[in-house]
């Protein structure tokens, strides 16, 4: 047994109190996982009540005056790096919890639970009017929240910070501007294929399940021991602690890369949680640090590894064995199918070249909603115009346009940019891993993933949340997120 890393007596007291919050969050995680994987539809009403009551308990424990003053007293203690991480994470959690009045949190969550239902109906009926009023309410409560949270320059900064600690518009403005220009330039030069025959090939669920399990086995995913895989309509990863991290995937019966690459994506998220330093267990620094860093891990496995030539070569025999239609295709076909570039109005179907343009569009709209006085009713037209300008497609209807994503209906404004941060960082990590493991791609061809996993553990995973996202990158890579690596990667791949 390794010696404890927490030595300061006040820190020990803090962590022992925190165990209540940890346990409630653990229960909350199970309720939420179960809701998406097992729960009968009608259970939603009772489940929502239980979840909201537990959230209230977590909130109460967090702002308990005795606990708050204990955490405040840590500031004058001499703390080691781990303990400083605990202080940073708790200060942030307490600051956020204290700045939002209970009345506001309840009102906001009521609006969101109704807005998401309105969004579902609106999307199904392709009728924006049914959602417009709710979106307007979401914009208003988001602005209100920004005021409670506080910001220096732009209200949108307060929302960005919620999803990515320390992220500000000034980190994104120039980067997104240049990225947009370069990506549109790529699009102009690229030759498109309208479709690939493999997109139409149907599969049996049981066979595809075996493909996914075979691939997870190659990766060394600890199925049954510390993880499991289930099915849900939107794939996700749920961590309960370091020794129980679960993923889901989907089976639509055709276009098998959707199931396969989703599974690999979620594996990347799960590996991060599985490789956190075990001594962090039950403490506030246990989980992954931010959405952006998390997404860099999923994108690294999905894009950098999963869409590589070497990976296509590695899994070709598995595909051939399990999916009968593969007989009429080659490894090269699989690679082209995985890397098909075609401008589509739908973000979740986007390829590596156009994906970030979809995010930039949403970023522009979110700024208009939060920093400017643009109203919900004006947004569909702005969406369509921007879409035509940056991706070259005009959505045929609301479903293909402004109603496609669930995020805004859930009140998540400021979330989208983390997808791009993750995608860019994945390519940056590729640059650094190639420097230290030049045989990176040979390892993939050979189905050997332990060196790669170890490198990710060493540079990112083991730290959990002990450093802020920005500090973590400075410490591990010696620089902040830089979009140049991503552009270089695309250039090598497509030109
Ligand atoms: Mg993800």
Kindly report the backbone phi and psi dihedral angles of residue 55, in degrees, each rounded to the nearest multiple of 5, phi listed first.
Answer: -60, -40
Kindly report the backbone phi and psi dihedral angles of residue 98, in degrees, each rounded to the nearest multiple of 5, phi listed first.
Answer: -75, -30
Cα 266 to middle of ligand 1, angstroms: 7
pLDDT at position 122 is 97
Residue 194 has pLDDT above 90, yes or no: no
- What residues contact 315, with CB distance under 8 A and at least 6 apart? 211, 214, 215, 218, 334
- Which of 23-32, 124-133, 188-197, 277-286 has the lowest average pLDDT? 188-197
Q: What's the chain's average pLDDT?
A: 96
Residue 63 has pLDDT above 60, yes or no: yes
User: In the structure encoding, which two tokens stand for residue 177, read together?
Assistant: 């501007």
pLDDT at position 192 is 75
Query: Which whole number is the average pLDDT over 349-365?
Result: 96
**pLDDT tens digit sequence for 29-57:** 999 999 999 999 899 889 988 988 999 99
pLDDT at position 228 is 97
How many Å apart are CA 441 and CA 447, to the nearest integer? 10
pLDDT at position 233 is 86
Cα 116 to middle of ligand 1, angstroms: 20
Query: Which whole number is the average pLDDT over 362-382?
Result: 97
Query: Which whole number is the average pLDDT over 205-213?
Result: 98
Alpha carbon separation from 299 to 195, 302, 347 (Å, rounded): 23, 5, 15
pLDDT at position 23 is 98
**pLDDT tens digit sequence for 80-103:** 999 999 999 999 999 999 999 989
Cα 177 to middle of ligand 1, angstroms: 24
How many Å apart are CA 454 and CA 289, to the nearest integer? 19
pLDDT at position 113 is 87
Residue among 88, 82, 90, 85 at smallest CA distance from 17: 90
pLDDT at position 106 is 87
Residue among 359, 443, 455 at smallest CA distance from 407: 359
Residue among 424, 435, 417 at smallest CA distance from 482: 424
Q: Would you place residue 277 in the very low, low, confident or very high pLDDT band (cuts 50, 70, 90)?
A: very high
Cα 288 to middle of ligand 1, angstroms: 13
**pLDDT tens digit sequence for 145-184:** 999 999 999 999 999 999 999 999 999 999 999 999 999 9
User: In the structure encoding, which two tokens stand for residue 132, read together?
Assistant: 């417009």
What Rg do the C-alpha atoms of the chain give, in angstroms? 23
DSSP string, 284-335: TT-S-S-HHHHHHHHHIIIIIITTSHHHHHHHHHHHHHH-GGGGG--HHHHH
Active site residues: 266
Residue-wise burial string across 311-337, b where 16 or more C-beta atoms lie within 10 A, e elsewhere: bbbbbbebbeebbeebeebebebbbeb
**pLDDT tens digit sequence for 322-334:** 999 999 999 999 9
Complete edge-to-edge strand list for the sheet that includes strand 237-241: 227-231, 244-249, 237-241
Helix axes 81-99, 65-73, angle to 10 degrees: 140
Q: Would you place residue 212 in the very low, low, confident or very high pLDDT band (cuts 50, 70, 90)?
A: very high
Residue 251 has pLDDT above 70, yes or no: yes
List the shell of residues around ion ligand 1, using CB closer than 5 Å: 298
Q: Would you place residue 191 in the very low, low, confident or very high pLDDT band (cuts 50, 70, 90)?
A: confident
- Which of 34-43, 89-98, 294-303, 457-466 has the lowest average pLDDT? 34-43
Cα 351 to middle of ligand 1, angstroms: 15
Share of the chain above pLDDT 70, in %: 100
pLDDT at position 2 is 63
H helices of 38-128, where? 44-62, 65-73, 81-99, 102-125
pLDDT at position 436 is 98
Cα 267 to middle of ligand 1, angstroms: 10
253: DSSP letter: S
**pLDDT tens digit sequence for 109-141:** 889 989 999 999 999 999 999 999 999 999 999
Share of the chain above pLDDT 90, in %: 94
Note whether 196 and 340 are within 8 A (CB): yes
pLDDT at position 1 is 53
Cα 355 to middle of ligand 1, angstroms: 13
The pTM (predicted TM-score) of the whole model is 0.96
Per-state percent for the chain, helix, strand, coil, to nearest 5: 70, 5, 30
Q: Would you place residue 288 in the very low, low, confident or very high pLDDT band (cuts 50, 70, 90)?
A: very high
Cα pseudo-dihedral 205, 217, 486, 437, rounded to 10: -160
Cα 324 to middle of ligand 1, angstroms: 30
Q: Which helix (H) or strand (E) holds 230?
A: strand 227-231
How many Å apart are CA 299 and CA 305, to the nearest integer? 9
Longest dimension (CA), the chain: 69
């Amino acid at each position: 047994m390794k010696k404890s890393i927490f030595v300061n007596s006040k820190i020990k007291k803090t962590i022992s109190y925190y165990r209540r919050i940890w346990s409630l969050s653990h229960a909350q995680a199970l309720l939420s996982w179960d809701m998406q994987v097992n729960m009968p539809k009608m259970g939603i009403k009772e489940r929502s009540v239980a979840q909201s009551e537990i959230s209230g308990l977590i909130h109460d424990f967090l702002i308990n005056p005795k606990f708050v003053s204990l955490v405040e007293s840590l500031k004058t203690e001499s703390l080691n790096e781990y303990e400083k991480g605990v202080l940073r994470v708790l200060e942030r959690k307490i600051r956020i919890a204290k700045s939002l009045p209970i009345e506001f949190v309840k009102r906001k969550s009521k609006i969101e639970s109704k807005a998401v239902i309105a969004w579902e109906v609106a999307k199904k009926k392709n009728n924006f009017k049914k959602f417009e009023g709710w979106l307007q309410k979401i914009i208003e409560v988001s602005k209100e929240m920004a005021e409670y949270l506080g910001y220096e320059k732009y209200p949108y900064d307060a929302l960005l910070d919620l999803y990515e600690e320390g992220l500000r518009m000034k980190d994104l403005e120039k980067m997104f501007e240049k990225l947009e220009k370069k990506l549109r330039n790529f699009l102009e030069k690229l030759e498109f294929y309208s479709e690939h025959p493999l997109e139409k090939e149907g599969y049996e669920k049981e066979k595809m399940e075996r493909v996914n399990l075979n691939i997870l086995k190659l990766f060394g995913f600890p199925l049954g021991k510390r993880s499991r895989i289930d099915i849900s309509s939107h794939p996700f990863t749920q961590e309960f602690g370091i020794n129980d991290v679960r993923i889901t995937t989907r089976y639509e019966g055709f276009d098998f890369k959707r199931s396969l690459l989703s599974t690999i994506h979620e594996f990347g998220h799960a590996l991060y949680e599985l490789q956190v330093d075990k001594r962090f267990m039950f403490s506030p620094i246990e989980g992954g640090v931010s959405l952006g860093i998390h997404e860099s891990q999923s994108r690294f496995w999905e894009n950098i590894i999963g869409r590589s030539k070497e990976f296509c070569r590695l899994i070709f025999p598995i595909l051939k064995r399990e999916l009968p239609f593969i007989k009429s295709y080659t490894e090269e076909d699989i690679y082209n199918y995985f890397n098909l570039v075609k401008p589509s109005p739908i973000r979740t179907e986007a390829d590596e070249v156009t994906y970030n343009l979809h995010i930039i569009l949403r970023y522009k709209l979110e700024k208009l909603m939060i920093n400017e006085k643009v109203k919900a009713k004006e947004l569909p037209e702005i969406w369509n115009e921007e879409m035509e300008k940056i991706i070259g497609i005009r959505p045929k209807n609301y479903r293909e346009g402004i109603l496609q994503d669930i995020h805004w209906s859930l009140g998540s404004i400021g979330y989208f940019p983390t997808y791009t941060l993750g995608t860019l960082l994945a390519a940056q990590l590729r640059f650094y891993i190639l420097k230290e493991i030049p045989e990176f791609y040979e390892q993939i061809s050979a189905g050997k993933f332990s060196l790669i996993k170890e490198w990710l553990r060493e540079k990112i995973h083991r730290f959990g949340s002990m450093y802020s996202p920005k500090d973590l990158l400075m410490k591990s890579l010696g620089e902040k997120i830089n979009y140049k690596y991503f552009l270089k990667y695309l250039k090598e791949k497509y030109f």
